[in-house]
Amino acid sequence: MAQCAKLVALVVVFVFCAACLVQAEEGEKFTKLNDKGQKLPSDAGQWAMIHDNTTGLMWEVKTTDGSIHDMGKTYNWEGANDVFIAELNRVKFGGFGDWRLPTTDELRTIRVKGAEPNINVAFFPNTASTGYFSVTECGSGDIFAERVKFGKIRNTKKDMRVRAVRGGDTKRE
């Protein structure tokens, strides 16, 4: 019985240490950027984009201000591309005109299991606990809409939330 208690205590310590390590790595993994794409200190209170230092991708950050970035806005597949992404590129959000929908694999790189929503809210605030559009390109070159879930809230595949990305594999333009 004593060995079992020691094993449980060891597992608890391991899980706690692993959680601390993940939080430290997340702080080094992401860089906050302002609305002009310029680097901000890690303790900045407001930011518009996140640079993922591991993948090189730049992500749009959601807001609650009613703008195109508002976390409550949903789109069908055409609107996600023809309204949301088109508007970010038209206004050159952050000084860039190459925003796009993320691939499923890209969107999964910012997903964190065990949290609700399933993302690091210290860097990605205002993320709804639901599915977000992503794209998958099949061998024939056809592009399909998919979703990556960031929580338990169900939505239809017809109207979903969207998060823009730039960088990485941009062959799909």
Q: How far apart are CA 156 and CA 173, in angstroms?
A: 26
DSSP 3-state of 63: strand
Torsion-angle region of residue 159: left (phi > 0), alpha (psi -120 to 50) or beta?
beta
CA 169 to chain centre: 16
Sheet containing 165-166: order of strands: 30-33, 49-52, 58-60, 165-166
pLDDT per residue, tens digit, the chain (173 aa), is 555 344 333 333 333 333 334 444 555 899 999 999 999 999 999 999 999 999 999 999 999 999 999 999 999 989 999 999 999 999 999 999 999 999 999 999 999 988 889 899 999 999 999 889 898 876 666 666 777 878 877 766 678 899 999 997 544 33
Instruction: Supply φ then ψ for residue 43, to 5 degrees.
Output: -95, 15
Q: For residue 146, which amino acid is it?
A: E
pTM of this structure: 0.77
pLDDT at 166: 97
Contact 154, 90 (CB under 8 A): no
Closest listed residue to residue 170, CA positions, set 63, 65, 73, 97? 97
Q: Where are the domains of the chain?
A: 2-35+45-166
Helices (H) and strands (E) in the chain, counts: 4, 6
Beta bridge partners of 58: 51, 166
